Chains A and B, each alone.
Chain A
């Protein structure tokens, strides 16, 4: 909270505010100075400086310390309205006041500096840990399919006479699977680095949502799909002005995920709707759903569900998020009350209802 305060209020304002605070406190004290002794007032001012030290930067604190000491001396320590101090005892008090105020200011400042360094260290440790996780994950995702390819080809080349036709067939199948996995991973990495480099500029032009959705499904169905994909598109869907390539990648990744991580026979629904100028795309399934506590992390780079099947890249969903947001859209994930997950994408889009040009 302390840091919050410091960050919110600029240094100039802090200086002004601390002087005002000292002034107001002194003013209030002045009204009842006839009831309490000036030494009590000294303590009240000291408390004010300590409070200022808790929230403000070093310069305003030191200023408040000096300023309050001067005020105390001038207005409250007899003789009044002069910087002279009457008794030797009061001189010692004033000196001690000054020292205590300074110490309290400097101490709180030092504590804050130490806190800051500790925080920086902690953040650095976190970054290092994250980097290690990313690096390990990446090595794993790239090396596993390469290991499969090298292993399978070694067997086919050096061990051929001892392999049954079924063995050979299986090994070739493994090579194929591994190369597609590797290809997907490289695609995702390339997309991710395009996103990270920040030169992804959406190129928006008129898209036929119907065409786009079916095109993605055809691409998905190039590989065997054991789930049932149904499509439901608003029959009055207009043309939408969006980046076709990006949107296609978003839908491909979401559908590919659904196909990779749900069991055979699962129903997958692709739904497209338009509400005024907001395009809504939903991809949902009636599979097992995501562990509720992991949902906040699934869009993070290289995050993989704790018990997810092998073969994923940990990048698919972060690309979905990146490409959706690059076009000004949002993506949300939730477990459905009836089971399974629902990904919903919403993006504002220009629309065109010129479908009825039929007799041109």
Chain B
């Protein structure tokens, strides 16, 4: 049995599919392709891939609709590849269940890193007690965070925020999502809280808080947690 992850590309542009196929196969992934929304949905149903790369501009159906249909039952990571670059489009796709969003044109190196991160995130078992991200270690049972093996003192809010991030590695979490999960539904427009706590958390967990390696800014959209490995 192959332990290569398989990735389904749903995109109507032959050039993009070719480029993705070469990129992914040279990075040791198994690749299957779909040209239309209909074909994509059938392929996911017949043989659920480990990850889906989805274009939003499909000929037969809007990518947003495909995303919603997929999310009714498919739980694997979905990464959007689209030429649409407005914050509204990105937030909408993330709200509809996308894990990540890359605007075309993108660097293939960046795409591979995002795929790796998303696949890692998908394999975190809910009962894995201790998660390692380079020099950072998070024990979700004992609620202990260590950096270079030293225990970090985090406030309750900082810890809640960090645990949310580590449980969603590779996934872009929108401002509103984070505010709702950490502070509650009444706070979804209180972005100032999130800004302050992100800055505080970065000071504690990042090597250089100005050049963060774990909590990555997605301008106007939200934040994404990555491992440095």
Contacts and interface: CB of A to CB of B under 8 A. Distances in A.
A109 to B, nearest CB: 54
A239 B155 contact: no
Given A203-B87, A248-B219, A211 B198 contact: yes
B157 A360 contact: yes
Given A205-B191, A239-B196, A214 B220 contact: no
B196 A357 contact: yes
**Quick one: which of A206, A210, A354 has the most chain B CB within 10 A?**
A206
Contact of B220 (A218, A244, A355, A359): A244
A183 B155 CA distance: 44
A126 interface: no
B192 interface: yes
Given A358-B155, A359-B155, A215 B217 contact: yes
Nearest to A216: B219
A360 B220 CA distance: 25
Given A214-B211, A360-B157, A206 B220 contact: no
B192 A360 contact: no
Contacts of A220: none
A189 to B, nearest CB: 13
Given A205-B191, A206-B192, A208-B198, A215 B219 contact: yes
B200 interface: yes
A245 interface: yes
A206 B191 CA distance: 6
B226 to A, nearest CB: 13
Contact of B195 (A179, A231, A239): A239
A360 B157 CA distance: 7
A208 B196 CA distance: 8
Contacts of A113: none
A214 B196 CA distance: 16
B217 A211 contact: yes
A245 B196 CA distance: 19
A15 B175 CA distance: 64
B155 A360 contact: yes
Interface size class of A (residues with CB under 8 A): 20 to 34
Contacts of A214: 210-211
A8 to B, nearest CB: 45
B105 interface: yes
Interface in B168-221: 175, 191-193, 195-200, 210-211, 217, 219-220
B184 to A, nearest CB: 13
A355 B219 contact: no
A326 interface: no
B211 A239 contact: no
A352 interface: yes
A239 B155 CA distance: 21
A92 B192 CA distance: 87
Interface in A196-244: 203, 205-208, 210-212, 214-215, 218, 231, 239, 243-244
Nearest to A249: B219
Given A214-B210, A248-B219, A354-B192, A208 B199 contact: yes
Interface in A317-360: 352, 354-355, 357-360
A356 to B, nearest CB: 9
A205 B191 CA distance: 7
Given A215-B219, A244-B219, A244-B220, A352 B192 contact: yes
A255 to B, nearest CB: 15
25 contacts: A183-B105, A203-B220, A205-B175, A205-B191, A208-B199, A210-B199, A211-B217, A212-B219, A214-B210, A215-B217, A218-B211, A239-B195, A239-B196, A243-B220, A244-B219, A244-B220, A245-B87, A245-B220, A248-B219, A354-B193, A355-B196, A355-B199, A357-B193, A357-B196, A360-B155
Q: Which 9 A-B pairs have the closest CB atoms?
A: A206-B192, A245-B220, A206-B191, A214-B210, A208-B195, A244-B220, A215-B217, A352-B192, A205-B191
Given A205-B191, A360-B156, 18 more contacts: A203-B220, A205-B175, A206-B191, A206-B195, A208-B198, A208-B199, A210-B199, A211-B199, A211-B217, A212-B219, A214-B210, A215-B217, A239-B196, A244-B219, A245-B220, A358-B200, A360-B155, A360-B157
